[in-house]
Amino acid sequence: MDHFNYSGGRLHAEDVPLSRIADEVGTPVYVYSTATLTRHFLLFQQALDWTDHLICFAVKANSNLAVLKLLGDLGAGMDVVSGGEYARARAAGVPGGRIVFSGVGKTREEMRLAVEGGIRQFNVESEPELTLLSEVAASMGATVPIAVRVNPDVDAKTHAKIATGKSENKFGIPISRAREVYALAAKLPGLQVIGIDMHIGSQLTDLEPYRQAYTKMAQLCRVLRADGHPIMRLDMGGGLGIPYRRDNAAPPLPIEYGQVIRETVGDLGCEIEIEPGRNIVGNAGVLLSRVIYLKHGEGRDFLILDAAMNDLIRPAMYDAHHDIVPVIEPRTGAEVAPVDVVGPVCETGDTFARGAELPALGAGDLVAFRSAGAYGAVMASEYNSRPLVPEVLVAGDRFAVIRPRPSIEEMLARDVIPPWL
């Protein structure tokens, strides 16, 4: 469920017509719904209300400070994978004690930043990282909580580029080596072993891979406790999918996901952490774009938009689908025809959809890409020297620009020509 619906013949974000945002802010522009963000976060709270837990929003999905503050004020923790994301979470008012630091390539500087600013735990992904984190913490006179990310070698049955739990993926340490790595961690100064971390991938639409992975996690927890490690916290990862196609079967609900967690690890008495990102923000956002031209080609028509692959990379990078809908509601029974929806970037890959069945649209008409709140604005670039796409947050009948579109002059001013040129 989201809060982007037609009212009076126009598509709205909550109570704000998207055409109004387009007129006042310009296009392309990302638009987020406060009501949808809030609802989705609270569904995860409800799913885990049977145990002590913390929902750590995956900042990589959407790192806008306003979005982070909104979720932080609701009680969310944050899962970060860089020093920059850590700084964003802190700038949004999230205390260090609610921030989990993940990622395979943490640097010495990032570790120091998090130790100084406060951290709930580091999710450690390799033995070299264990050694470096121990060195950093000990040099600062600190002891930091850690969980080791264990790779369970479970096929998440998702896109190859977002699968993280198979043996060939770069993430975590093999589950077969977990005992020796935990033994090493227990001996190193500056580290406090408190939990196990596991994450198998993103956009999962089947709960069975979770059940397999979490069953392995429960078995490992019992083994590690028998070895003398005080495992008090289980970080279950995230990755629950969303419906990118409105005509597809809906993915599992958070309450069903929570039940799998309860059935597999609920008897261990551990605090539970989960790291949802896409499932909270994905359907809470749309990318709003305006048609530049309708171009008639050889055997196909092209709808050329002012949004491009630099604004929304997912279709080019993952062959991802986003429902594209007109902002003016089509009349009942309106004819549709296939059209390729493309952007103005000088790449054939700048194609959002091929043969999309859409009603007649022409220059100046507005369209919205649904389910664009996750991995949209955060992955945007200035390719072809196109200014970064702005972001807007809607709450009821109000909206605010939460990241402005930079001018071309501001974009150029970041470059420096050396004095010898």
Active site members: 346
Q: What is the rounded CA–CA span in Å between residue 66 and residue 388?
A: 17
| CA-CA-CA-CA dihedral for 61, 66, 67, 72, to nearest 10 | 110
**Packed helices 108-117 and 83-91: angle between N→C axes, nearest 10 degrees:** 20
CA angle 310, 88, 172 (to 5 degrees): 80
Q: What is the DSSP letter of 71?
A: H
- How would DSSP label each residue in 88-142? HHHHTT--GGGEEE--S---HHHHHHHHHH--SEEEE-SHHHHHHHHHHHHHTT-
Cα–Cα distances (Å) from 15 to 22, 307, 328, 372, in that order, read 15, 24, 15, 19
Nearest to 126 by CA among 170, 190, 163: 170
Cα 37 to chain centroid distance, Å, stands at 13
Provide the token pair at 264. Answer: 């597999």
What phi and psi, each to the nearest 5 degrees, are found at residue 353? Answer: -160, 145
Task: Report which residue type is found at 197.
Answer: D
Q: What is the DSSP letter of 332?
A: T
Cα–Cα distances (Å) from 116 to 83, 162, 227, 290, in that order, read 12, 32, 31, 46
Q: What is the rounded CA–CA span in Å between residue 40 and residue 279?
A: 7
Q: What is the DSSP letter of 404?
A: P
